[in-house]
């Protein structure tokens, strides 16, 4: 049994706590809202997220981050990407310098363009104790024991193996990977492609269109990874094509749902008001495109998602911009053909 602090009591944080608690770990769950912590401790249910999950008795929640981190042997961060830096700053005074930390949040920080483990290193130091977990892991399924798999990427192989052991169950298979950059970039950029896939659904297009968006989306994800030194095989794995399939096709996908809402004439603000959920692709389209611009990498789908969400571009114009692009070799930008 390990004492684990889970930071973030949203859908994924709740499912992760259920999984870890079910393995017999002593789980201390931090909730930003005091009423959520109180509800969990009183009823063993999160009153706002994943409320149908019954949390084990070994999962105890608190609004006090110092209390949650007290005695923690490992930390699991599951806050939205936009809140990772401020949450890490709150954690820093109460977290030992060598306590391993794995982050399940998927994104690139706007402004700094740092990956999530880079943000943690910037705030907490000691990157060797940091890891990222990513894959086709919808919280709604993990929290019901639906068979799933994921990948943990760590700067130190021992830390990756530690979290592999902490999370591994019969229904939740955990693999390791040394490619932290690739795994984290996959997690951020696939959310943008899922928004585009949802827009296709909202417009009433079919399987051909979605498959085209997914595969060409994977191509631009891979181009960005290639420019940042990621292992191309990572994009063929769980964090890449695996998560892309799940996020672009599932009814549980917030990012696909946001795109569908937009495709049917809705707005970003309207989606937020209706769902009270964070669709990470709405943030990632800005930071991922800025990464591409910095590195001179062409990201046409990401460009149009950002234009539609934030620049007043009609969705039909975004569609035309993609369909009207010049013909290219399928593998351009990957260093495999003459561009």
* 39-76 confidence digits (pLDDT tens): 999 999 999 999 999 999 999 999 999 999 999 999 99
User: Is 23 tagged catalytic?
Assistant: no
Say which residue, 325 or 6, is predicted with more confidence: 6
Query: Would you state the pLDDT for residue 279?
Result: 84
Query: Would you state the pLDDT for residue 202?
Result: 96
Query: Would you state the pLDDT for residue 102?
Result: 98
pLDDT at position 338 over 80: no
Closest CA to 215 of 257, 248, 261: 248
Query: Would you state the pLDDT for residue 277?
Result: 75
Closest CA to 236 of 170, 286, 175: 175
Query: Would you state the pLDDT for residue 74?
Result: 98
Report d(CA 286, CA 110) in Å as an integer.
Answer: 7
Cβ-contact 304, 318 below 8 angstroms = yes
DSSP 8-state code for residue 327: P
Query: Would you state the pLDDT for residue 167?
Result: 98
Report d(CA 184, CA 234) in Å as an integer.
Answer: 10
Mean pLDDT value across residues 27-49: 96
List of long-range contacts for 214-218, beta carbons under 8 Å, 24+ apart: 214/244, 214/245, 214/248, 216/301, 217/190, 217/192, 217/193, 217/244, 217/248, 217/301, 218/193, 218/244
Q: Which two tokens stand for residue 150?
A: 């994921």
Per-residue pLDDT reduced to its tens digit, 148-179: 999 999 999 999 999 999 999 999 999 999 99
Q: Which two tokens stand for residue 109?
A: 């920080």
The CA angle 153-154-160, to the nearest 5 degrees, is 85
Cβ-contact 88, 61 below 8 angstroms = no
Query: Would you state the pLDDT for residue 4?
Result: 98
Cβ-contact 239, 134 below 8 angstroms = yes
Active-site residue (options: 23, 92, 106, 190): 190
Query: Would you state the pLDDT for residue 147?
Result: 97
Closest CA to 20 of 66, 74, 90: 74
Query: Would you state the pLDDT for residue 275?
Result: 84
Report d(CA 278, CA 288) in Å as an integer.
Answer: 17
3-state helix, strand, coil in the chain (%, to 5): 55, 10, 35
pLDDT band at 278 (very low <50, low <70, confident <90, very high): confident
Query: Would you state the pLDDT for residue 273?
Result: 86
pLDDT band at 337 (very low <50, low <70, confident <90, very high): low
The CA angle 7-173-218, to the nearest 5 degrees, is 85
pLDDT band at 24 (very low <50, low <70, confident <90, very high): very high
What percent of the chain has a predicted confidence (pLDDT) above 90? 90
pLDDT at position 1 over 80: no
Give the CA distances from residue 271 to residues 52, 54, 189, 309, in Å, rounded to whole numbers and listed in that order: 23, 28, 20, 11
Query: Would you state the pLDDT for residue 129?
Result: 97
Mean predicted lDDT score pLDDT of the chain: 94
Closest CA to 77 of 106, 109, 50, 114: 106
Query: Would you state the pLDDT for residue 339?
Result: 59
Cβ neighbors of 98 (< 8 A, separation 6 or more) are 126, 129
pLDDT at position 335 over 90: no
Query: What structural domains and CATH numbers belong to the chain?
Result: 3-178 (3.40.50.720), 188-323 (1.10.1040.10)
- Give this prediction's pTM: 0.92
pLDDT at position 276 over 90: no
pLDDT at position 336 over 80: no
């Amino acid at each position: 049994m390990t004492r684990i602090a889970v930071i973030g009591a949203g859908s994924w944080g709740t499912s992760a706590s259920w999984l870890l608690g079910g393995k017999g770990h002593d789980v201390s769950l931090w909730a930003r809202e005091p009423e959520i912590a109180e509800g969990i401790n009183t009823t063993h249910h999160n009153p706002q997220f994943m409320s149908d999950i019954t949390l084990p008795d070994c999962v105890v929640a608190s609004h006090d981050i110092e209390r949650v981190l007290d005695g923690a042997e490992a930390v699991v961060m599951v806050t939205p990407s936009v809140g990772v830096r401020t949450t890490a700053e709150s954690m820093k005074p109460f977290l030992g310098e060598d306590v391993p930390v794995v982050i399940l949040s998927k994104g690139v920080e706007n402004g700094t363009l740092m990956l999530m483990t880079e943000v943690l290193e910037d705030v907490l130091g000691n990157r060797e104790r940091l890891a990222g977990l990513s894959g086709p892991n919808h919280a709604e399924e993990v929290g019901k024991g639906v068979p799933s798999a994921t990948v943990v990427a760590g700067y130190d192989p021992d830390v990756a193996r530690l979290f592999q052991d902490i999370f591994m169950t019969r229904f939740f298979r955990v693999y390791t990977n040394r490619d932290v950059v690739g795994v984290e970039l996959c997690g951020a950029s696939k959310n943008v492609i899922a928004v585009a896939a949802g827009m296709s659904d909202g417009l009433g297009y079919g399987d051909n269109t979605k498959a085209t968006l997914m595969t060409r989306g994977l191509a631009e994800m891979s181009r960005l990874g290639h420019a940042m030194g990621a292992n191309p095989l990572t994009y063929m794995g769980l964090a890449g094509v695996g998560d892309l399939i799940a996020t672009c096709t599932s009814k549980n996908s917030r990012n696909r749902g946001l795109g569908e809402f937009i495709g049917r004439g809705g707005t970003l603000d309207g989606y937020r008001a209706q769902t009270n959920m964070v669709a990470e692709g709405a943030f990632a389209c800005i930071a991922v495109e800025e990464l591409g611009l910095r590195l001179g990498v062409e990201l046409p789908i990401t460009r149009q998602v950002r234009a539609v969400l934030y620049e007043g571009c009609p969705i039909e114009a975004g569609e035309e911009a993609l369909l009207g692009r010049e013909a290219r070799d399928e593998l351009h930008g990957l260093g495999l053909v003459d561009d």
